[in-house]
Chains A and B, each alone.
Chain A
Amino acid sequence: MEEGNTIAKRAGSRLCCLCNERKPALKRPKTLEQICRDCFYNVFEEEIHQVIVGNHLFKAGERVAIGASGGKDSTVLAYVMSELNRRHNYGLDLFLLSVDEGITGYRDDSLETVKRNEVQYGLPLKIVSYKDLYGWTMDEIVKVIGLKNNCTFCGVFRRQALDRGAAYLKVDKLVTGHNADDIAETVLLNILRGDVARLSRCTSITTGEDGPIPRCKPFKYTYEKEIVMYAYFKKLDYFSTECIYSPNAYRGFAREFIKDLERMR
């Protein structure tokens, strides 16, 4: 970060710090460097490629399902994964896997986005729904349990739904769009709740290796703001509304706190 400050001062010369050719279009949230769009795409994609290669996330020939919700993280993930798969010859068979929790006004809209992604990125799509798997939609569940602890129910059901969808697609691995902000919030949340078991697992880039299907998080070191910036500049199609039950979530405390921290330093 300190490097970024001195570089930013030098960039009063009004050129991108990385290529020194084009005009800067943005200040990079991670390093505060002033860079142009193309350089941003390059560093963004290259860093993710390094994370994938450095952590040995995939093997050639694997069938990989991308957890797709239609939100910015999964849309950018689908875009970047197919791009890197092509560019660096990962040799992966990619699929989109989406979960319908049955939340009216939220999930039904985002599913439309995923269906468009299927066409745009040319990746086969499978949708699994809570109603089909369990006989319950989230709306029905919330009517019974009230507005607290919804995420707990939804999260447990979702993980199993993803497992089942992955088994149906016969994939070897699942990737999700969890970013650095998500993981920071999760670490904090687990400390606050005293969940030592989860605390020891939650920072691994690959989890569930001993379970039905391993899951990995290529965006583990990527800032949420950079994902949004990438989607914005590339004009990617995504659904930008939050789950209607999220204002009551405990995670909200952690998220607010982390946003305040970032404003400070």
Chain B
Amino acid sequence: MACNSGNCQSNCSQNEQVAQDDSIPAPTTGSDDGANNQQQQGVCLKCKVSPPISSGGGGSGDEARFCGDCFRTNLFGKFRLAVTSHAMITPSDNVLVAFSGGVASRVALQFVHDMQQRAQRNYEASKDRSLPVFGVGVAFVDESTVCSISNDEVEEAIQEMKSTVLELAPPVKQFHVVPSVSLYSSGSSDEKDRLMKLIGAVDDVTGKDDFLMHLRMWALQKVASENGYTKLVLGLCTSKIACHVIAATVKGQGYSLSADIQYVDARWQVPIVLPLRDCTAQELNILCRIDGFGSLKTLQLVNDHPSGINGLISSFVRLLQEENPSRESTIVRTAGKLTPFHFNRLPEINDSSVPLATLRRQKRYNLKPQESISSESFCPICNSPVINSDLPSCGSLKPFKFREFAASCCPSCQFQILPQDQSSMKEFYSLLPEGLVSRSKHKDNDNLDMLREQVQDCLLSNSDDET
């Protein structure tokens, strides 16, 4: 069958001939479009020298257009642009990379390492050694207590991860294995039981899935702050964010959606940054394949097959993506039109060791600061901002701490995570890790302190505590 198109996916004879002849431009047959000519000649669109990743005509658009090196450069370019334009990583930072063993976090780890290596080389080459190199650590949350994977499989996976991290040196990186039970302060003997009971108390399948995700985040925050890390890097890519957008829409979590999908999320003690936000899962998969990273299959299974509504949404988005490859980006772009919160920008850096260019760049890309200090409350479970009108007034519920706690949670957590009847709720509250419970009290005080600082000079006496 005569074939005029360079994008022809069927293995017609023209493509096979082209694949063999990659150094000598083959005579074009029919198409007069310049780009198509080069594809038919089996040459990367960018460097016009090497063959594309898949020269047989199959594979996705990018694989047929670019060679491995140019593809990698493109992808790293997106990562680097996100990092530099939002000042995600500065020389004085100590960055913790959350590593799940999945594709995205593997790429995040690799790219952060590449950036660190480059900084190290620059440091060694510079005469005055003025700019220190940022530190990098890696953390893996071990959920074997609460998941159905066998201990052996997890051990094996951890060993693989350890050796991966060892290979990514110099500079040396510390590897932290964070078991879920570490949320409970050390010393409690029944922490595993408490955790199992806590999770068992959540009836709803989707609620349980989400609750586990929130606990995972708290565990990461705990290890990051206890070990002096200043930033937490997550491998959240466009595809995962698109799923989150749909999830927030269908679960009625619209108010907090814009907080979760920005490049920077500084409401946490250790700010979270998403340098892979502009990369799709497909691109990351291609990179893993061509660079032979592979990924840890056992853990892949857990992470990529969420249950309940989250699983349904994953398959829905995958279906849409197959029907139109730009669907995920469109979804994220649409949600990006929502107004971000004031904490979706990093506080202005006052550090003199940070180069002026970085400061200027941060100012340019940083979102407009909001005039007033927001007195937002945050849900103690999922940390999403809660509209103050949703919360009852302070005085009424004080005697019963578990009721106060329940009332301070966001409507979504109240619906799908917290038990509905009083006695189960009381038990649920007693099983929570201490860190989660005490947080809800601290945040209110922080806001009050911030306001107090502003008016401190006009306050007369110390007995202004009418609360």
B249 within 8 A of A: yes
| Closest partner residue, chain B, to A261 (CB atom) | B250
CB–CB B334/A194 < 8 A:
yes
B320 neighbours in A (Cβ, 8 Å): 192, 253
- A-contact bits for B240-269, CB 8 A (1 contact / 0 none): 000001100110000000000000000000
**A188-B250, A253-B323 known; 4 other A-B pairs, CB under 8 Å?**
A253-B320, A257-B316, A264-B308, A265-B309
Contacts of A264 in B (CB 8 A): 205-206, 308-309, 312
CA distance A207 to B331 in the complex (A): 25
Q: B204: CB under 8 A from chain A?
A: yes
Could you say which residues of chain B place their CB within 8 Å of the CB of A192?
320, 327, 330-331, 334
What are 18 A-B residue pairs whose CB atoms fall within 8 Å in the complex?
A2-B415, A2-B420, A188-B246, A190-B334, A191-B245, A192-B320, A192-B334, A193-B334, A194-B333, A194-B334, A195-B334, A196-B334, A253-B316, A253-B320, A260-B312, A260-B316, A265-B206, A265-B309
B interface footprint on A248-265 (CB within 8 Å = 1, 0 otherwise)? 000001000100110011
In Å, the complex CA distance between A257 and B247 comes to 12
Contact A261 B330 (CB under 8 A): no
Most central of B205, B250, B323 by chain A CB within 10 Å = B250
The distance in angstroms between the C-alpha atoms of A196 and B334, with both chains bound, is 7
Query: Interface SS of chain A: helix, strand, loop or mixed?
Result: helix
Q: How far is the CB of A236 from chain B (nearest CB, A)?
A: 31
Per-residue A-contact encoding for B333-377, CB less than 8 Å = 1, 0 else: 111010000000000000000000000000000000000000000
Question: From residue B130, how far is it (CB to closest CB) to chain A in Å?
Answer: 45
CB of B81 within 8 Å of the partner chain: no
Q: How many residues of B contact A (CB 8 A)?
A: 23
Q: Are B420 and A191 in contact (CB under 8 A)?
A: no
A-to-B contact residues, CB < 8 Å = 2, 187-188, 190-196, 199, 253, 257, 260-261, 264-265
Contacts of A257 in B (CB 8 A): 312, 316
B319: Cβ under 8 A from any A Cβ: yes
Q: Contact between B309 and A191 (Cβ–Cβ < 8 Å)?
A: no
A187-B249, A261-B309 given; A196·B330 CB < 8 A: no
B259 CB to nearest A CB, Å: 17
Residues of B within 8 A of A (CB): 204-206, 245-246, 249-250, 308-309, 312, 316, 319-320, 323, 327, 330-331, 333-335, 337, 415, 420
Among A188, A191, A192, A264, residue most surrounded by chain B Cβ atoms (within 10 Å):
A192
Give the CA-CA distance A195 to B331 in the complex, in Å. 10
Q: Which residues of B contact A196 (CB under 8 A)?
A: 334, 337
B337 nearest CB neighbor, chain A only: A196
Asked if A199 contacts B334 (CB within 8 A), the reply is: yes
User: Contacts of A265 on B, CB cut-off 8 Å?
Assistant: 204, 206, 308-309
Q: Which of A191, A193, A195 contacts B249 (CB 8 A)?
A: A191
Asked if A193 and B330 sit within 8 Å, CB to CB, the answer is yes
CA distance A193 to B330 in the complex (A): 7
The answer on a CB contact under 8 Å between B331 and A191 is yes
Q: How far is the CB of A125 from chain B (nearest CB, A)?
A: 39
The answer to whether A194 touches B330, judged by C-beta atoms less than 8 angstroms apart, is yes
A261 proximity list for chain B (CB < 8 A): 250, 309, 312
Considering the chains assembled together, what is the distance between the CA atoms of A188 and B249 in angstroms?
A: 8
For A6, the closest partner residue in chain B by CB is B420
In the bound assembly, the distance between CA atoms of A264 and B207 in angstroms comes to: 12
Enumerate chain A residues within 8 angstroms of B250, measured Cβ to Cβ.
188, 261
B83 to chain A, nearest CB (A): 26
Question: How far, in whole Å, are A260 and B320 apart by their CA atoms in the complex?
Answer: 15
Contacts of B312 in A (CB 8 A): 257, 260-261, 264
- For A195, what are the chain B residues with a Cβ–Cβ distance below 8 Å? 334
Q: CB-CB < 8 A to A188: which residues of B?
A: 246, 249-250
Complex CA–CA separation, A188 to B254 (angstroms): 13
B136 to chain A, nearest CB (A): 36
Bound CA–CA A253/B321 (angstroms): 12
> Nearest residue in A to B206 (C-beta to C-beta)?
A265
Give the distance to chain B from A195, nearest Cβ to Cβ, in Å.
Answer: 8
When chains A and B are docked, how far (Å) is the Cα of A87 from the Cα of B149? Answer: 63
**Closest Cβ of chain A: how far from B314's Cβ, in Å?**
12
Tell me the minimal C-beta distance from A27 to chain B in angstroms.
20
Find the residue from A187, A260, A264 having the highest chain B CB count within 10 A: A264
Which residue of A has the minimal Cβ distance to B250? Answer: A261
CB-defined contacts of B334 to chain A, threshold 8 Å:
190-196, 199
Q: Give the CA-CA distance A103 to B196 in the complex, in Å.
A: 59
Sort A-B residue pairs by CB-CB distance and give the 4 closest, nearest first.
A194-B330, A194-B334, A257-B316, A2-B420
